[in-house]
Structure 1
Amino acid sequence: MNGIVREFVGLPSPTAGRAGAGGHPCQGVYHRPPGARPKTAFIAAHYNVDFSEHYLAAHLAERGYGFLGWNTRFRGNEAHFLLDHALADIGVGVRWLRESAGAERVVLLGNSGGGSLMAAYQSQAVEPNVVPVAGMRPVDAIEDLPEGDLFVALAAHAGRPEVLTSWMDASVTDESDALSLDPDLDPFDPRNGPPFGIEFQERYRAAQRARNERVTGWALDRLEALRGTRARDALFTVHRTWADLRMIDPAIEPSDRAPNSCYLGDPARANYGVFGIGSLCTLRTWLSMWSLRTSQCGAAPHLARVRVPSLVVHATADEGVFDSDARALLRALAAEDKRLETVRDGHYLPRSRPWAADLLDAWVRSR
């Protein structure tokens, strides 16, 4: 991949000023072939993960495309995420591709958690629908977002509230105590499984949803209690979020994934560790990103407004995205031109990145 031009891009955000140390809120790296101004360019962004050096960027640049690995001001700052603010920052990147980089077609690449984020971007661009979280002012910049021309969901989750709820440990009884436990719902107690019976699975899934609802109810009550005080928001922790039964029992939705594994290795060890999605939140970030009741970060409602040609690529050995997730994304897409492709690899495609780049290249060129 020698010779690929990598250009740092730092731009202002409609919702945040430049940092005192000099950094722009919106930052990324634009990859392109040397001596070329590609007419078609990809843009990839995530809720939290730094995508500036995305693993497909150089591969797609080798095939003649531009690729903007783009970060909103919430890169590494998930605890304070607000959807409408992030969409404004993605709009900055798309507009830069069209107005400065010379791209005539923009491919929105929704990878991993970015699948629902980029779906929300296109949804808002074609049919404004995103509203501020409780107590926040509207963001004018999201009323005029430049649309994407093609949409790709690559190893994409079903949405932030859905993925967190599916991974939540349903046996937690006290959100303030990382060791609180209902033994009848403990997924790591051999008496409960694996294998996990249908009755246990149903009770467990219902308890996961109930846990999400309890946190939402508490967050709303806490925000109301803060009204008129010196504090407008507050931080809190969410314990044990590596406990999807599918991670533990490979008989549930069989696939090519390794048994008893998650993105951090052994689920039992990861679940009681300190690294997890949603582990630190503000009240408003919970409501904006993680709540089943109030979040606008679920993919399905937004995919129902995505009508451009769309491709879903599912990694069959993915430890955290399952076949049912990929097929649900495909069903939710409003596009008439849509298809599902699979690759036998893990979530980050460590063995098949050139193949995936060839797949995207052929699909884009055919359109």
Structure 2
Amino acid sequence: MTEVVREFVGLPSPLIGRAGAGGHPCQGVYHRPAGAPPKTAFIATHYNIDFSEHYLAEHMAARGYGFLGWNTRFRGAEAYFLLDHALAEIGVGVRWLKEQAGVERVILLGNSGGGSLMSAYQSQAVEPNVTPVAGMRPVPAIEDLPAGDLYVALAAHSGRPEVLTAWMDPSITDETDALSVDPALDPFNPENGPPFSAEFQTRYRAAQRARNERITDWALERLAALKDTRARDQLFNLHRTWADLRMIDPSIEPSDRKPNWCYQGEPVKANYGVFGIGSLCTLRTWLSMWSLRTSQCIAAPHLARITVPSLVIHATADECVYDSDARAVFDALAAQDKRLEFVKDEHYVRNSRPQVADLIDGWVREH
């Protein structure tokens, strides 16, 4: 077996320096085969999840590639996420690969939520388009980002605002009361389903979008109200974000997934629990990451600027990424050379990682 070398990488950000305790804002682990430095390497980053020891890193390193599992300063700090800042810090990792690790070709791996993030990175690198969120200064470092040479989307969501909106429970009637509910929209009210009628699904989806828009209205109003006060932003909680009807009703977009299940287990328990996407936000983070109206974390516009060869891999038993998501990502890519592949596994492909690594390896070698 190929010996895999692991190297910790800690680097400053163009925006902030080292923490007082010594930690660098940008950190990751570089996996590579022992011996001569590889000429081709992957980089994978997520909005919030620690990707430093990504599950594919050792698999790809064993096949002769470098793999930088890379974290911006927003790892574990989703509540404060700002897209333009994150892109600048991904650029730090890409530059390190090219200037320090001796890599000639960089492959952007967009895994899970990182799919839209890495598409935004490539989009900004080839055609700068990302602007600061309300009240923030421009970030010069994102005007000259080194672009990737290939793009891979693996079990990727179609964007943060779309995911949150598709998952959020629109039956909540008071954003400050996690138990408030409109029975006519409650997905866990047996009178509504499952199975859920087409009429209920249409009404439910419209109510989800309306909830997102109401929060955006409130966030903009609060920011305006804070102007000229001692505060520039504020924190707030977002309740009940595990209520996609597809999680509950397997007849909606049938697949190999486990029925009545989501990433946090049984949807009704997860929905009323304390672990959820967007559960803690600042006003500006909502506008930057989650708002349908203002967020630039929607993948489609960025995918439309990606022209490098691209591979999309969909896990058919994924609990919360559906066939329509994978096809939407594939269709939105501007690349003429693109491929859509399927593996029968759940979101983190625990049972087929060697096969997924072989699939990616074979595609990369073709290119």
**What TM-score, normalized by structure 2, do the two folds share?**
0.99
| Aligned twin of 2:43 | 43
Q: CA deviation at 1:3?
A: 2.7
How many percent of aligned residue pairs carry the same amino acid? 80
| Aligned twin of 1:7 | 7
1:142-167 deviations in Å (ceiling 9; x for gaps): 00000000000000000000000000
For the residue of structure 2 that corresponds to 1:145, the secondary structure is coil
| Aligned twin of 1:236 | 236
Question: Partners of 2:15 and 2:193 in 1: how far apart?
Answer: 48
| Aligned twin of 1:187 | 187
For residue 116 of structure 1, what is the amino acid of its counterpart?
S
For residue 161 of structure 1, what is the amino acid of its counterpart?
P
Question: Partners of 1:213 and 1:198 in 2: how far apart?
Answer: 23
Residues 269 and 197 of structure 1, relative CA distance in 2, 3 Å threshold: same
| Aligned twin of 2:333 | 333
Question: Partners of 1:53 and 1:2 in 2: how far apart?
Answer: 18
| Aligned twin of 2:70 | 70
Question: Partners of 2:288 and 2:186 in 1: how far apart?
Answer: 29
Matches within 5 A, 1:257-336: 257-336=257-336
Question: Partners of 2:214 and 2:177 in 1: how far apart?
Answer: 15
Does structure 1 conserve the Cα–Cα contact (< 8 Å) formed by 2:2 and 2:34? Answer: no
1:175-207 deviations in Å (ceiling 9; x for gaps): 010001000000001110000000000000000
**What TM-score, normalized by structure 1, do the two folds share?**
0.99
Question: Partners of 1:174 and 1:199 in 2: how far apart?
Answer: 24
| Aligned twin of 1:32 | 32
Q: CA deviation at 1:2?
A: 7.2
Question: Partners of 1:185 and 1:301 in 2: how far apart?
Answer: 31
Question: Partners of 2:91 and 2:111 in 1: how far apart?
Answer: 17
For residue 294 of structure 1, what is the amino acid of its counterpart?
T
Q: CA deviation at 1:80?
A: 0.1
| Aligned twin of 1:255 | 255
Question: Partners of 2:248 and 2:15 in 1: how far apart?
Answer: 41
Question: Partners of 1:73 and 1:36 in 2: how far apart?
Answer: 31
For residue 14 of structure 1, what is the amino acid of its counterpart?
P
**Structure 1: runs of 5 or more not aligned:** none
For residue 95 of structure 1, what is the amino acid of its counterpart?
R
For the residue of structure 1 that corresponds to 2:145, the secondary structure is coil
Does structure 1 conserve the Cα–Cα contact (< 8 Å) formed by 2:113 and 2:159? Answer: yes
In the alignment, is residue 203 of structure 1 matched against residue 203 of structure 2?
yes
Q: CA RMSD in A?
A: 0.6
Q: CA deviation at 1:36?
A: 2.4
Residues 2 and 335 of structure 1, relative CA distance in 2, 3 Å threshold: closer
1:71-94 deviations in Å (ceiling 9; x for gaps): 000000000000000000000000
Question: Partners of 2:15 and 2:244 in 1: how far apart?
Answer: 36
For residue 115 of structure 2, what is the amino acid of its counterpart?
G
Q: CA deviation at 1:17?
A: 1.7
For residue 302 of structure 1, what is the amino acid of its counterpart?
H
Question: Partners of 1:123 and 1:174 in 2: how far apart?
Answer: 38
Question: Partners of 1:78 and 1:232 in 2: how far apart?
Answer: 18
Q: Runs of 4 or more off by more than 3 Å in structure 1?
A: none
Question: Partners of 2:21 and 2:193 in 1: how far apart?
Answer: 52
Question: Partners of 1:317 and 1:15 in 2: how far apart?
Answer: 40
